Structure 1
Amino acid sequence: MAAADAVADEFQRLYGYAPEGVWAAPGRVNLIGEYTDVNDGFVLPLALPHTAVAAVARRTDGVLRVHSGDVGQGVVELRVDALAPGSGAGWAAYPAGVVWALREAGHPFTGADLHLTSTVPTGAGLSSSAALEVVTALALAELYGLGLTHPELAVLAQRAENAYVGVPCGVMDQMASACCAEGHALHLDTRDLTRRQVPFDLAAHGLQLLVVDTRVRHALGDGAYAERRAGCEAGARALGVRTLREVPYAHLLDALARLSGTVLSRGTTPGPPPEEIRRYVRHVVGDNHRVERTIALLDAGDPRGVGPVLTEGHRSLRDDLRVSCPELDLVVQASDAAGALGARMTGGGFGGSAVVLVESGGGADAVTEAVTGAFAAAGHAPPRVFPAVASAGARRLA
């Protein structure tokens, strides 16, 4: 509880009174299933021990005050009734967007003071923004007695990021932060939000999952993410389905053949060319199938078999979706050469992190040394390597 006490103490220093409580929400790493959540597909994330922590108290004057212990600026003060999409506020747009989404959904809100701090690496593809949104949503929902479930909080947090911040993300990040369980990966069907906690005890099998943060920072609001989402939607329209989730893997080759003979509509705005749309379809349908294969391996007690599926997924992200980068490719190459069971980039891409499945002990050491050495030889900044331990989702600390 030392972290909760420290955050509460800082709240007291900032605002001159004690908070009503302290909450935490984790970042996440996605084991498999990338860009599938924006196509109503399957994902398999796990929560990290890294969290965003918020000390919060209510106000009654319509003022929202937010402060970050990680950003070099003072308290940001906003009027609740003036919150609107596109109104800016920098990092504070994430908690402000949650307040806006709560009010848009008809929930009462008269103001709040928040102090936030986070150990989730920013820009690393580990959902630092979702952690901020979910911890804000959970704290305010509990303080205001809104009676919202964790999945409902995740959907509100996603709306904040989509409509207020302007990033067209799927719901996976927020659902993982809100709903993951310790010692499990979360099998999430993003079409209907049904979920299953899949036991994920790699240590019992002598294995470990490493996260390699390349320290190459991305910005998903730059259009690349939105372009791929639009391309997937164009592919679905051409195939006569609502989303690519409706294309069975067994019918993928037929679907690609149909797309080859179809004039793909780009709508009224510029979009990806037809060949790119075909590649996007191949990736999404294939990654949905890779999620199902991974769960079958875990259920069968064969987590080692997941390794090749991860590497296959990276090739698809690199070659079909084209969201990798030289640093992420180097992680996969160096890990494979050092004896890893499998590796792939994770998250939205264009930088960020990779996951590597290794044997515990010497295997983890060998991969860490190989990746660090490869980065040094290539002239890249040193990567950050740490184990991914399946941790608890959002919760109250104090």
Structure 2
Amino acid sequence: MSRSGSRHAHLWPGVPLALAAAVLFGASAPFAKLLLDSIDPQMLAGLLYLGAAIGLGVVHLTRWGVGREGSEAPLRRSDLPWLAAIVAFGGIAGPLLLMLGLARTTASSGSLLLNLEGLATMTIAWVVFGENVDRRLLSGAAAILAGALVLSWPGQGVRLDTGGLLIAAACLAWGIDNNLTRKLSSADPVVIALVKGMVAGGINFALALARGVAFPSAAALGAAAAVGFLGIGVSLVLFVLALRHLGSARTGAYFSLAPFVGAVVALALLHEALTPQLVMAGLLMASGLWLHLAERHDHDHVHEALEHEHSHVHDEHHRHAHDGPVVEAHSHRHRHEPMLHKHVHYPDLHHRHGHG
């Protein structure tokens, strides 16, 4: 039986990864808003995802060039159905339902309803996939969601028309996407995000061209690619890595901070006013964040015998032998022998056990 050496060791690296993903994605929103002055919305959506795919393609080739291709587990044939489902729900269905919904409802209702993605992600993780949840986690998630709702509240009711239902369906699709992505979180996140960006970007870009949308200037094209690489591509890679360490529910909760980040960036970038709404949303989200950071899920738990492949270092859960020197981190198929111990943990790759 063993314990973690640091009181906060369980927070690293999952929590920083999830927060960094939220910061990059949230900060990209006001920059994308500036680009809408010169680029059609659907064309911009395509360019953002294609920019993510191109940038991550360069990253992937660079890793091969420096001999670091073995640090992450490759996608296997058995992963392809999951990858196809992720692309279908998150790259095709979600964006399509969103565009159809926004065309049929008000912008204020659409902005408010988009907060359902975080709720859908957490609910599916807890109810369908059995991730553990306690009162502190529920309270923290509720505070973060409440902050997001306050931030986007238009001062009037939500129209539950056809457009609203389509946006809600888009959020459900993304909630399913986030939970299915957890199934692939042991594989190379760069490749996962690259494939998703190529498909989602290619579809929206092709549809925009088919509508006769004009091609943007070189400057606007380069700006969209840069925003897409950081705000979509790198953010998605960090999100997948956070799923590996935190599970879907907690990653989804931290990622729900993205709208607040976007609003704060907009204060400086777009010279928007500091409103009581933003202050209240910040206080609610800060309290939710504190509740999540203060979580200490600690109990005796049994690790069943397990064989899998993912990037790892030789830590408490990886004490297998190697023939010859090993570069950390590295990836290969390895076996975990049964183990009983106690330490603070999240539902990561090695702690997906049930709770009575």
Tell me which interval the TM-score lies in, with the shorter structure as reference length: under 0.3
**TM-score normalised to structure 1 length:** 0.24
**TM-score normalised to structure 2 length:** 0.26
- Which is richer in strand? 1
Structure with more relative contact order (C-alpha pairs < 8 Å, separation 6 or more): 2
- Which is richer in helix? 2
